[in-house]
A and B are shown apart, each in its own frame.
Chain A
Amino acid sequence: MNGYIIVLPEGTLTSEHRAKAITRELYNITAPLVTQEPYQKDGTVFGVIEHPDGIQFALQVDTEYNIPVSPMATLEKLITLMLELSEEEIRQLSSYVLNSQSFPFGAIVPSTTTVRTYEEMVELGWFPEDPEL
């Protein structure tokens, strides 16, 4: 399923910083930093979109997207970024990393997180231009 996750600011992290950090950490699950080539230093899994207010940022996600897992992947940073994860969800995510070669992104979306549709985002004012299209 294609959709959007609005990323809220948390602590000292703005919405933008947190959104970009999450998608970056998702990328690092497949290609951990210690293995990355120079061209991979900016790799992300999902795009980040900006609200016209310049404050809110959201991840453009595909819950069915399969994230390959590197044997060298670590989760600490991702978990600190995804504060919405419950203990059970953290345990599930750790299990994926330890035991699976890949997992769908939708499997680690926190239960308290809403994946919004394009239409919902339009209603929330994220895409103000050309509603006709």
Chain B
Amino acid sequence: MITFNNIVERFEIFAQNHFFIKTFSFGSPDDADLSKFTDFPLMHLVYTGANYDAGTKTYNIEVYILDVPADKNDKVERQKEVVSDAEQCAEDIIADIKNGGNIFLFAQDYEVVNATTTPLEEETKNVLSGVLLDLSVAIPYEWDACNAPIDGVEPGGTEVTYARRGVLRMLTIDGTTDVQSVRTINVTNGTLTDDGDGVVTLDTGGAETLNDLTDVDTTGVTNGQVLKYDNASGEWLPGNDQSATSLGNLDDVSIVTPANREALIYDGSEWVNDTVAKGDIGLGNVDNTSDADKPVSTATQTALNAKANTADVPTSLNDLSDVSIVGTPTGNQALIYDATANAFKSQVSYTNRFEDDVETGKQGITGTERAYSVKGEGDGVFIDPESDTPAAGKVIVRKIYHKTGFITDADVIGDYTLIHTFADDTAYADTVATFEGFEDGATYGVPPFTLLQTWEEVAAAPTFTGLLNESYGSGAAAAYGTRRLNGNYSGACMTIRRASDGTTQAIGFVGEEIDESAITTFCTGTSCTVQVWHDQSQTGGTGSGNDATQTTPANQPTIYTGGALVKEGGRVAIQGTSSTTELVASISHTITAQSTFGIGTYVYGASDRFISQNNGGNDFGASDAYIIGFADGTNSIASYINSAARSSITVSENQHIQFTSIHSGSSLLNAVNGTTGTAYAHTLNSTFSRFGIMGTGGSVAQGWQGKFQEVVMYTSDKSTDRTDIEGNISAYYQSAKLLDESFGSGAEAAYSTRQLRRDQTDCMVIRRASDSTTTTIGFDSNGNIDEAAINTFCSGTTCTVYQWLDQSGNGNTATAAAQANEPTIYTGGALVKENGKVAVTFDGSNDGFPLDTTSLDIGSLSSFTTGKFNATSGSGMMLGLSGGGSNKRWYAPYLANTNFNFGYANSGTAVNTGADTNRHLFTMIAGTTLNSMQAWASSASVGTATLTTGIDSTKNGIGNLNGTLYGNCNVQESIFYTSDKSSVRTSIESNVGDYFTQNTPLLDTYTGAAAAYSLRLLDSTYTGSAIRVRRSSDNAEQDINFNVFGELDTVSLLAFAGTGDAFVKTWYDQSGNSNDATQTATGSQPKIVSSGAVIVENGKPAVEFDGTDDKLDLTGFTQSASNYSLHAVTKDTSNDMFLFDAQSGRLVFDGRGGGRGVYYDGSWEGTSHSGTSQQLQSIYAISPSSGQSYVDGSQVNTGLPYTQTPIGGGIALGGNYQGSGHCIFGVIQEFILYPSDESANRSNIETNIATFYDITI
């Protein structure tokens, strides 16, 4: 062990040998006194103690390296020199210990553990300067002290039983010590030699060459050989095979300089090279005979010998020995066997062969003018042509019939088959060739057969084809309409009476329509009623049928009043005005089946008769009573049979209804607008003498007080023709376009991407960019702009609108000033569309149509424009009819500075509202009805302005204003009237909204929902509000409805919410089950408006839940054990949030995420939905094992178990019924729950939803 003495000794030797140190001393610091030493610098060593650790002992030493005091005059410089030199000396000590080799021998295992230097400067006189080196030096130590001088311990006693631990310095190239301490060095197959001074030599004892190894013998090895293991000798020996580079190197191959085309052949012991003989490969019998010289087989030759030579084969009949063709054959010749000649000979004519008279008396079938029977030996033709000149109103019809066999006296026409009908009035002479064609060709089989040509005279087809002339509509017992129903009826439509003088006038038809002009002429300045409604069911003139009459003027329905014809759906109607109104026809009939078709408007009057029949008394008293249609309550119409209302159907007030009542004889079935009621089993056998239209026709006054347009009655079962007849009636009376309707009529100009009038055929003229050609685009059968035509014309290029045609009939065509000003309708391979309907897009730069508005006056003007602005910033006009400094503004509207400004008169911002990029119907109306100008956005009022008059006719346009203020907008329709349309505004807006609504309300098609919440209209019959909201500022509440497009009325919502927030208190159930979802605690109400802006998701309004306690309660919701189908549009950013939670029966539908599943019915089922974006979720809980779920149309789960259980108790939408823990953190836009399996309808339901919310599925 290295002792402290060894340490001091080493330091003293160091001091003696170091050029800088002059004196060395050891002791306490006080011993280093200036007065004690004369030679400086001085190294003074102070021992401060040692530390003991496992394997090492650390000596702690203070080394003072000091020099004499500084010169008084240069004290600072001197001290700097001394400190610097002393510190270098200290570092020499550290280096020598650390690196070893000089004074502190490396073999003595010193190790520097810690070293610090501290400068020592003179602070007072006679104090040394220099450096204090605090040094810790470790040495190996294994608790192996010398034999302790302890009593009982023998000096030089027991040898230590373990090896002394040393310090092995393993230095890398950069001197870093890798191993601090080594306890044992194991040397395998080698030797470790102690070379003294701690130096050892490690001899691994390994071999220097392979051959030195005991299991390797490289004797005789040559270049390129490898070592192979030889099992026999147990050694690795040189070998050749593994290094072979040619076949010849292989042991079993012997090659002697090979020649071209030689092969390797095995000779029994090895492979040798040699040429191949044909016998070697089994072809010893092969020779080189050419193909041409090869012989055929005997069998082949025998077969060939049996064949005829080509030249000997006949090519025509005449080549045959028993055929004799005379001359050149002509058409219809035949081969006949000539026994004399013993050959078949050609004959002149097959026809002529049999051209003899038919036997007398065998052409007696009525109407036969020609007969022809073909016998084997020949019979002939009977010819007795009838007249070619038809009688008046008749046409001549000739037909050809056929039968197999001969004509006989007993034949009737039914024995024959009609094979040809000539066109009406075809002359006999013109039928001959056709008839003989059938003779000659023997088209209908081999003789014997018979042909007949008949002649008959029938009534000529009417020049007009009405309902009664259609096969499905024929056979009516009575028919009354405000249109022409029968082309064979030549009488008047009705006889009307004018109030002013009591005179009457028969009114006929103009084309299909009643002569409106004649009525107007006759009735102008007074009113007119209907005295006789003429029956059109018969062939003949006025009075030929069962006319319906009312001789008492006060009881006659009105047809003209207030200076206008009574109309419905753009067609003339008659109006019931009191309970005594009715028209009665004397029709006596006993019916065992009856079908009646009527159309009019429903206005409730208790038990008022739409159509009835009786025997002169009351129409319900007899046991066989059959009131065809009557008002059965405020919202239904039914038939009265067997003392009660039957097959009742729900209708609404003022609804235009087409009512059908068909009694098959055993069952009654009614229908309204094609929708049937419940069939009622009943045997019909009734006799009536009077037929009442709009009344009983009897003694009871129950006049219909709605409108009436047509009734057609059949005394037969028309069930199979019902839809055809209904379709015919509907096509005429219920096909009105907006401008056909009375409320929509009178437009000054009307531009649209839909058909606005029945008679309008053209919509616009478009131009394609590729060749600048234009084409006119019309409408499809549904009244839409003809999209297919546009797609065809514009495919591969872009199309713009050159002219937007005016559908008002006033010819106010909107024409772009130049091609550059034309808005776009087709681009990027697709039509421009807005909410699913075609739109015209104006670029906001220079697109626009100028308009001629000479006849307009802003004091009496109404405009309806449907479209959207594509940005809320900037400025531009969608419809501007005047402007500049004229003080005659009509901006409808003008986008400016994020506002929709409805400019009027002298103000560009007469009324305004915040702008958005939603599609709106912008309405502006000014006139004396309102006595102001008022504006609406999607039916929500924006404000009013003071009425004024006049207009600047030179500054106007669609998509711009007089060549300025171009709007960046999409426009679908713009209609304006030179009148105040405020009284019919909602009707016009409803018509616009119905058409431009994106898709059919979902529940119209897929009925039966238990609860349905949405921010769009889900059921067209739903008339309630969408939501009830509370605004944050004062907790005031208001219901928010749907706008004309069936979407949330955001204009009204924002007007109510102001700049604050608004929350949903109630989300109304549209299912009809009144399962409204409500939250009365304001702190738990989800949000719909945030800081004055509607919360939207993917452009559509959304209800936002805060993820903490927001939820809505379905108080009172219960459902018996059922399957469930849930469809919801949501966005949820947290896991395990409940879309729906029912306390009783514990049914939970999970919104997304987590590891629970998609629904809980006692246990969680399926894999949770994932994703934090807007999703269309469809979840089906179908027992027993058909549960499934989908996200955006993609299946996530299938085959899930489900157990049906009644549910009730606390029910929550958007959270845990208990109020917290699982509340949705996100939005819900739509939630529809069916208590049924709707998985078969999933695709269609999802398409409906995805179309509206613009979700890709």
Contact = CB atoms under 8 A, between A and B. Distances in A.
Contacts of A37: 1036-1037
Contact of B1220 (A23, A65, A105, A118): A118
Interface stretch (B527-535, B672-680, B1080-1088): B1080-1088
B1118 interface: no
A5 B615 CA distance: 79
A46 B1083 contact: yes
A15 interface: no
A129 B1143 CA distance: 9
Contact of A105 (B1037, B1083, B1216): B1083
A60 B1084 contact: yes
A110 interface: no
B1037 A39 contact: yes
B1220 A60 contact: yes
Contacts of A43: 1035, 1080, 1082
Contacts of B1021: none
B1035 A27 contact: yes
A70 interface: yes
Classify chain B's interface size.
Answer: 20 to 34
Contact of A31 (B1035, B1080, B1084): B1035
Interface string B1213-1225: 0001011111000
A44 B1218 contact: no
Place the interface of chain A in its size category.
20 to 34
A118 B1083 contact: no
Contacts of B1109: 2, 47, 60, 62
A66 B1148 CA distance: 31
A46 B1083 CA distance: 5
B1037 A40 contact: yes
Contacts of B1037: 37, 39-40
Interface string B1024-1054: 0000000011111100000000000000000
A1 B1218 CA distance: 17
Interface in A98-133: 105, 118, 127, 129-130, 133
A62 B1148 CA distance: 24
Contacts of A44: 1080-1082
A27 B1036 CA distance: 11
A46 B1108 contact: no
Interface in B618-639: none
B837 interface: no
B151 to A, nearest CB: 72
B544 to A, nearest CB: 66
Contact of B1034 (A30, A47, A130): A30
Interface string B1197-1226: 000000000000000000010111110000
Given A47-B1081, A61-B1083, A62-B1108, A40 B1219 contact: no
B1036 A68 contact: no
Contacts of A7: none
A121 to B, nearest CB: 9
A97 interface: no
A42 interface: yes
Interface string A26-52: 010011000101011011111101000
Q: Which of A23, A35, A43 has the most CB of B within 10 A?
A: A43
- Identify which of B1060, B1106, B1221 gathers the most chain A CB atoms within 10 Å of its CB: B1221
Most buried by A among B1037, B1108, B1148, B1160: B1108
B1146 interface: yes
B1032 A45 contact: no
A4 to B, nearest CB: 8
A31 B1083 contact: no
Interface in B142-160: none
A42 B1080 contact: yes
A130 B1035 contact: no
B1220 A2 contact: yes
Nearest to A1: B1108
B1148 A133 contact: yes
Contacts of B1216: 133
A85 B1033 CA distance: 26
A118 B1221 contact: yes
B1033 to A, nearest CB: 6
A46 B1084 contact: yes
Contact of B1146 (A30, A61, A127, A130): A130
A66 to B, nearest CB: 8
Contacts of B1222: 133
A45 B1084 CA distance: 8
A109 B1256 CA distance: 47
A32 to B, nearest CB: 9
A27 B1081 CA distance: 9
Chain A CB count within 10 A is highest, among B1035, B1084, B1219, B1220, for: B1035
A49 B1219 contact: yes
A69 to B, nearest CB: 10
Nearest to A23: B1081
B1220 A27 contact: no
Contacts of A133: 1146, 1148, 1160, 1216, 1222
Nearest to A3: B1220
Contacts of A35: 1034
Nearest to A61: B1083
Contacts of A60: 1081, 1083-1084, 1109, 1219-1220
A90 B444 CA distance: 113
Nearest to A130: B1146
Nearest to A101: B1033
A1 B1220 CA distance: 11
Contacts of A47: 1080-1081, 1083-1084, 1109, 1219
A49 B236 CA distance: 91
Contacts of B1148: 133
Contacts of B1143: 129
A31 to B, nearest CB: 4
Among A35, A44, A133: residue with most chain B CB under 10 A:
A133
A45 B1063 CA distance: 12
A44 to B, nearest CB: 5
A75 to B, nearest CB: 17
B1035 A46 contact: no
A6 B1035 CA distance: 25
B260 to A, nearest CB: 89
Contacts of A129: 1143, 1146
B1035 A62 contact: no
A86 B463 CA distance: 99
B166 to A, nearest CB: 64
Contacts of B1036: 31, 37, 40
Nearest to A36: B1035
Highest count of chain A CB atoms <10 Å: which of B1060, B1109, B1160: B1109
A127 B1218 contact: yes
B1225 to A, nearest CB: 11
Nearest to B1060: A68
A59 to B, nearest CB: 9
Contacts of A2: 1108-1109, 1220
Contacts of A42: 1080
Contacts of A62: 1083-1084, 1106, 1108-1109
Nearest to B1037: A39
Nearest to A2: B1108
A61 B1084 CA distance: 9
Given A66-B1032, A68-B1033, A127-B1218, 6 more contacts: A30-B1033, A47-B1083, A47-B1084, A47-B1109, A62-B1108, A133-B1216
15 contacts: A2-B1109, A30-B1032, A30-B1035, A40-B1036, A40-B1037, A42-B1080, A43-B1082, A46-B1081, A47-B1083, A60-B1109, A62-B1083, A62-B1109, A66-B1032, A68-B1035, A129-B1143
4 nearest A-B pairs in the assembled complex, by CB-CB distance: A2-B1108, A31-B1035, A47-B1081, A65-B1083
Interface of B: 1032-1037, 1060, 1080-1084, 1106, 1108-1109, 1143, 1146, 1148, 1160, 1216, 1218-1222
